[in-house]
Chain A
């Protein structure tokens, strides 16, 4: 993972002064240990929304005795609409880890403001390279990696709303497409009535909405840039802060969207390989077939979702709440995202309003 020692944001002294002592005391109680020492190893990247701190825990006594390389993930200054909060994220991570997904093992979660202030949790630290541009640099396609990512997603999608321990999450939607559409309208607000590209995306989603099918635990930010790779092999899937129940094809559409192909827009599965490799891995473990028409629907949704998030990130800057060049530039990405959506809609041209609905009905019938 990339350690960031300088940032455009003022460093937050999360573990300064008394905080470290309070954290160590709290951890000792949680771990049933006689003593816990926390060493700070630096701030980690990928913290546009959360604050990620690399820490080493030295635990004396108790079942977890020993040294553990970890990440402390705390609620950042400005949470955006799509994020679920640190305690829910912890619950999701636990469910995913239990389902055999290569998520970092979650260890401790805390919602007591007396410890550090914000909610936070601690998970094991995984090694590897995460940056999308680096992952997609490879000359040869990475079919094995794509297949493995498909398998991982398939395992995650075996987690249903009935799985114990997930009560903290928002209730499973009856119709994921309709619910998502309503959410996008709310997030985009007035912009959906001023920007004709967004208006067309929203209308397209409304007219083409597939009938409700399976609803499972989705990662909702499963993409290149959010997993770690070491020596060509997957080590961890990160960034679970948008997870929630939805149509399983939503995660596949998001993964394949042009926005996350980085250097290799020609490699439709996350810029690393063909869709066929990714889909094959998914079908191995998920117990269901990939429905390309639904994936195409959710890929349109992916562009609108990314557009809504980018707009909101930009507003965090322009509102004055969180002045940041990175947030400001993210807000400016809207036309690029829209161009990707239009290219996608062109490429599925045959999938006109009626045929998409028709194919959805075929699947259900």
Chain B
């Protein structure tokens, strides 16, 4: 049923065309809005292609604390649910004071890796 180009293909060419053919000609008063449009299109592009990779990176980050497998075979909703469940567990442990005295370094490593995985989609430059 799928028509080519698919959603991803359309988004890629739309974002590229907007950057090269539209943005340079936008009047100054609309430039801020135009830059926001370009930014939003690019976030959507990265999310369409990179959501599972980001999810796996988050699982690997949580594995620093829980020592679980990377669940390489998970994808889509299963992957998302797995990440959410582990994050929820970590929230409960944090709130209960489990990291008040020990394990803060590992916790910070894990939290940083989780945020970096999300930044890879949102703003790769800020992940560095």
Which A residues contact B (CB, under 8 angstroms)? Answer: 4-8, 192-197, 199-200, 202-203, 207, 325-326, 328-329, 332-333, 335-336, 338-339, 342, 345-346, 352-353
Contact = CB atoms under 8 A, between A and B. Distances in A.
B19 to A, nearest CB: 16
Given A207-B100, A329-B40, A7 B33 contact: yes
A353 B100 contact: yes
Nearest to A337: B115
Chain B at the A interface: SS class: helix
B119 A200 contact: no
In terms of DSSP, what is the predominant structure of the interface of chain A?
helix
Interface residues of B, number: 36
B115 A342 contact: yes
Contacts of B87: 194-196
Contacts, number: 85
B33 A8 contact: yes
A339 B91 contact: no
B45 interface: no
Between A197, A207, A345, A346, the greatest number of chain B beta carbons within 10 A of the residue's beta carbon is seen for A197
B60 interface: no
Contacts of A8: 33, 36
B51 interface: no
B119 A339 contact: yes
Interface in B103-125: 104, 107-108, 110-112, 114-116, 118-119, 122-123
A197 B115 contact: yes
A338 B114 CA distance: 10
A40 B59 CA distance: 55
A326 B36 contact: yes
Contacts of A193: 88, 91-92, 95
A335 B115 contact: yes
Interface in B1-54: 27, 29-30, 33, 36-37, 39-40, 43
Given A6-B27, A193-B95, A339-B112, 15 more contacts: A4-B29, A7-B33, A194-B84, A194-B88, A196-B91, A196-B94, A197-B111, A197-B115, A199-B90, A199-B94, A203-B94, A325-B40, A328-B40, A329-B40, A335-B119
Q: Looking at B94, B95, B101, B123, which has the most chain A CB atoms within 10 Å of its CB?
A: B94
B110 to A, nearest CB: 8
Contacts of B33: 6-8, 325
